[in-house]
Chain A
Amino acid sequence: MRRIALALLAVAALVVAGCGSDDDDTTSTAAAPAATASATDTTAAASGQIQSNPDNAATTITVGSKNFTEQKILGEIYAQALRAAGYTVDTELNLGDEKTALKALQDGQLDAYPEYTGTALLSFFDVPTDKLEGVDSQGAYDQVKADFAKEGIAALPPTPFTDSNEVGVTAQTAQKLGLKNISDLKGKSQDLTLYGTPECRQRRDCLLGLEETYGLKFKKFVPVDPSLRHEVLENGDADVSIVFTTDPQIKRDNEVLLADDKHIFPPYNSTFLVKQSFLDQAGPDLAKTVALVNEGLTAPAVQELIARVDLDKQTPQDVAKEYLTESGYIAS
């Protein structure tokens, strides 16, 4: 019995460790020349340096993030920025999916974490996809803010970048089947295997939307660890894979992203969620600092930051620090 218990424990540990291991890049050691060039350019436009306020030291903020590269970088950026503003900061940067993260926030394990407006609408507030057609970033944020307010959670103003799901196929597949839009898959999808995250099965901006809004029926849906989303296409395991907008360009040089012509992917700007009660007691510097560092978080900047972690193998911690210093938010 003890052996079984130990084995189960070991597996649990492995799974947790595995969720943490992001995007092991296996092919391109000729990493990202284009990508590494110019995050500085794109982010340097922001103004103002974070001022440290000694009054904040008494407030301890636990910042969380979900378990993929972009979230870890965002978590680190907010954590380091708030530290620079004088707060005492703990981090919890490896929480599974959005439900786990929200629960941790509600239970008080976390005080704040970045969440995407689209994820919140579809996954937390059960907004049907057709209600989101034509909703822009601001509209999505306003709605999310109002919904969260009812639960005592403040959604701070969002980032400029949006990171939505994308339907990716290889260039060969796109050419062979003549694919440009997602709706071009109609009549062909029954021969195609789709790979996506485990949550994809019940998400309207994923398998559910593809089935219901586009009327597609795939030969098979295979849930897989999100870090493998490009590998499954490269290796030929997947015909179609769900990838992310902010994935490093080099990763998808051989991929075609199909246009979402029926709009199942809503805006996915990142909004920093903070418990309202905590925000009130933490003082104005919290929201101010987050708003400041959000300014430089444009899509190309985030793509670049992710490339530095996934391809150049830097830690999210170092990359976040680079972002903050290069943009002039903290002194180098």
Chain B
Amino acid sequence: MSEFGGAIDFILHQRESLAGGTQVGGSQLLPLIGKHLELTGVSVAVAIAIAVPLGLWLGHVGRGELLATSIANVGRAVPSLALIAFFVAYLGVGFTNVTLALVLLAIPPILTNTYVGVRQVDRGTVDAARGIGMSGVQVVRRVELPLALPLVMGGVRTSVVNVIATATIAPLAGVVTLGDPIIAGGVYGDEGRLGAAILVALIAVAAEAVFALLQRAAVPRGLRIAHHTPGGIT
């Protein structure tokens, strides 16, 4: 059987580990997939809760462009693995540690996209909203956020894919995700390693597709006929 065929077989059917003594693959992968998705979900949710309000505020007051872009660029440059190693001293190993590292990975694309999304709202529209007596909060909630939403979703989409891919390093800090077969090749074998990599790639592609749909759905009705769907900045 080719290695690729073996990898597919590993995904579908449980087998003995390389040196025996424990079962891997097939249904044994379910907890790993579950943990992978849980970690991704929690990380992205926390990142959204931080980055979207911050990006809206910065965009609304029209300041902090330097801050937003700096955070984004620095955030992309710091390897998540280094963060995990760093946090071990303060948080120990485990879910909190890895989540924090992934949150920091997920924030930059969402923050930049939210900021840019608000800034690119037509100034005339914002002025008109003020003109009819909307308060600052109302302008953000009823004008800027809806118009920025497609771009915000574009940022979330980028982050989700990044986090799904990066969550494979979590087992190094004791969180058993789909990275486990990739890291522990001596237990799962080459086919297990490849099988898990295929699974992660499939999940990332699926997430990408789902969020592309969500991004399209987020375009306000009033804009759909007039414009093409704005793409996310990635």
Residues of chain A having any CB pair with chain B under 8 Å: 1, 3-4, 7-8, 10-11, 14-15, 17-19, 21, 24, 26-27, 96-100, 123, 126, 195, 198-199, 201-204, 208, 222-225, 228, 231-232, 235-237
Contact = CB atoms under 8 A, between A and B. Distances in A.
User: Which of B21, B171, B204: most chain A Cβ within 10 A?
Assistant: B21
Interface residues of B, number: 43
Contacts of B176: 222-223
Interface string B171-195: 1111010011011111100000000
Contacts of A237: 92-94, 174
A203 B92 contact: no
B168 interface: yes
A4 B201 contact: yes
Q: What are the nearest 6 A-B pairs in CB distance?
A: A198-B184, A235-B92, A7-B165, A26-B89, A97-B186, A225-B172
B22 A198 contact: no
Given A14-B80, A18-B172, A199-B19, 18 more contacts: A8-B165, A8-B201, A10-B166, A11-B168, A15-B172, A24-B85, A27-B89, A97-B186, A100-B185, A201-B17, A222-B93, A222-B174, A224-B93, A224-B173, A225-B173, A231-B92, A231-B93, A237-B92
Interface of B: 17-22, 79-81, 85, 88-89, 91-94, 158, 161-162, 165-166, 168-169, 171-174, 176, 179-180, 182-187, 197, 200-201, 204-205, 208, 234
B174 A232 contact: yes
Contacts of A18: 81, 85, 169, 172
Contacts of A10: 165-166
A235 B187 contact: no
Contacts, number: 134
Contacts of B204: 4, 7-8
B201 to A, nearest CB: 6
24 contacts: A3-B158, A4-B165, A7-B161, A7-B166, A7-B204, A8-B197, A11-B166, A14-B81, A14-B166, A24-B85, A26-B89, A96-B185, A198-B183, A202-B22, A202-B187, A222-B176, A223-B176, A223-B184, A224-B173, A225-B171, A225-B172, A228-B88, A228-B174, A232-B93
Nearest to B234: A3
A interface majority secondary structure:
helix
User: Which of A21, A27, A224: most chain B Cβ within 10 A?
Assistant: A224
A126 B20 CA distance: 9
A231 B88 contact: yes
Given A11-B168, A98-B186, A202-B19, A232 B80 contact: no
A198 B192 CA distance: 14
Contact of B186 (A7, A26, A198): A198
A126 B81 contact: no
A14 B204 CA distance: 18
Contacts of A1: 205
A228 B204 CA distance: 29
Contacts of A123: 19, 186
Contacts of A201: 17, 21-22, 187
Nearest to B16: A202
B167 to A, nearest CB: 9
B180 A235 contact: no
A8 B197 CA distance: 8
User: Which of A126, A198, A236: most chain B Cβ within 10 A?
Assistant: A198
